[in-house]
Amino acid sequence: MTLNWKTGGLLLGFVFFLAVLLVKPIGVSTQFVILDGIVADAVSPGFITQTEDGYTSTNAYMAKLDGKYAKSAANPLNYSFIFVLAMMAGAFLSVRARGGLERGEGTMPALWRANFGDSAAKRYAVAFLGGFVVLYGARLAGGCTSGHMMSGMMQTALSGYIFAAGAFAAAIPVALMMYKKEA
Amino acid sequence: MEIILAIVIGAAFGATLDRIGATNPNFIGKMLNLTNLHLMKTILLAIGTGSILMFGGQMLGLVDVGHMSVKAAYVGVFIGGLLLGAGWAASGFCPGTGVCAAASGRKDALFFIAGGLLGAAAYMANYPAWKAAGLLDNVAGGKVTLGSVPGASYEGLTGIPGDLLGMALGAVFVMVAFVLPERLTPEKGLAQPAE
């Protein structure tokens, strides 16, 4: 089912190239902030406000870079936000086209089940905590696996190398400790 | 026009992430516990391929150098990388693969996204403290590339021609993808030879 690494790697590399050729390097994690901004402004109007020459927010992070994030949250029909929605559509169609998700994978991956058992609640709790730490870290770093590691190292950005060093320095020990049984 | 490109490139990226197994936490876990490096080889080949195409295209004048977007280097990049790495290993998702996994029907990925939205919000609230602590201050020139890319608005860490260096490093990534073995830890459950 999974593409051979040679085909898959060439295909993935070509997509990253296409993005920088036609528009700009791929990145994802900023859009979690944009969605937070959209929700915050809907729940408490005035979170984002229009100024004479753009947008700003009562939150210092949303307002930084002359309100760049505030502007995107005020206008969700922008390239980067639509890009993430299109990613979801692309993944959805690709899974459908290959006959759907493998049995039993909908609640938890087999590797998790082999190491921690069948409890969905336990898996969901760790996925939630993992998500919290991943996005907190990605925002602190200013990018994630896509923006820093893939797009960054591809452009020979120093920051991409620093990020990848940190990510693998933590990820490998954690995976070795958590996933001792193979599946 | 930009919106159409967002839809086309985004959908291609999402579909590719599904087909290479990156949206499958089993492959992430097996890559990170070093028992199956298939996905690592895929990622390394992709970085190399992207690099060679982009810098090669720049040298031929076919790719606009102005499309490059280099992020700043600061201490928080490393600390954030550590945090992301830990959560990535535990959950098996990163931001891009997490949203794609949710779209492909993985319910645990929905909890990852919910946690992610809360984590991003927590950082939005804490941002002034990180900034005040100086952990977001540029190091080594901030937005720099390893070599000096001709025509780019970013400084080079070294004076080496950045496009040539990019092609060379791209070739290194491709080579590492080829020489990396399928697994780095010994196979468990295999009978040990008798003395």
Domain boundary among A61, A80, A100: A100
Domain boundary among A77, A100, A123: A100
A65 touches chain B (CB under 8 A): no
Domain count of chain A? 2
Same domain (yes/no): A128, A61: no
Strand partners, B155: B144
CB nearest to B116's CB, from A120, A132, A183 = A132
Same domain (yes/no): A13, A87: yes
B167 touches chain A (CB under 8 A): no
Q: How confident is the model at residue B187 (pLDDT cuts 50, 70, 90)?
A: confident
Same domain (yes/no): A74, A113: no
What are the pLDDT digits (tens) for B140-160? 999 999 999 999 999 999 999
Same domain (yes/no): A61, A1: yes
Same domain (yes/no): A32, A122: no
B93 touches chain A (CB under 8 A): yes
A110-121 burial, b for 16+ CB within 10 Å, e for fewer? bbbbeeeeeeee
Determine the pLDDT at residue B194. 55
pLDDT over 80 (residue B188): no
What are the pLDDT digits (tens) for A61-119? 999 999 999 999 999 999 999 999 999 999 999 999 999 999 899 999 999 999 999 99
What are the pLDDT digits (tens) for A13-71? 999 999 999 999 999 999 999 999 999 999 999 999 999 989 999 999 999 999 999 99
CB nearest to B105's CB, from A95, A143, A171 = A95
Q: Are B163 and B13 in contact (CB under 8 A)?
A: no
CA dist B15 and B97 (Å) reads: 11
Same domain (yes/no): A177, A119: yes
What are the pLDDT digits (tens) for B7-61? 999 999 999 999 999 999 999 999 999 999 999 999 999 999 999 999 999 999 9
Range of the domain at A65: 1-100
- Mean pLDDT score, A124-130: 98
Which residue's structure tokens are 């005040």?
B132
CA dist B23 and B46 (Å) reads: 16
Same domain (yes/no): A164, A92: no
Same domain (yes/no): A110, A154: yes
What are the pLDDT digits (tens) for B102-121? 999 999 999 999 999 999 99
Same domain (yes/no): A10, A93: yes
Same domain (yes/no): A65, A140: no
Determine the pLDDT at residue B193. 56
Same domain (yes/no): A12, A90: yes
pLDDT over 90 (residue A183): no
Dmax (CA) for chain A in angstroms is 59
Q: How confident is the model at residue B189 (pLDDT cuts 50, 70, 90)?
A: low
Domain boundary among A81, A100, A119: A100
Same domain (yes/no): A88, A129: no
Nearest alpha-carbon partner for A153 in A16, A33, A21, A30: A16
Chain A residue nearest residue B104, CA to CA: A92
DSSP assignment of B109-133, as one string? HHHHHHHHHHHHHHHHHHHHHHHHT
Nearest alpha-carbon partner for A152 in B192, B141, B47, B109: B47
CA dist B128 and B130 (Å) reads: 6
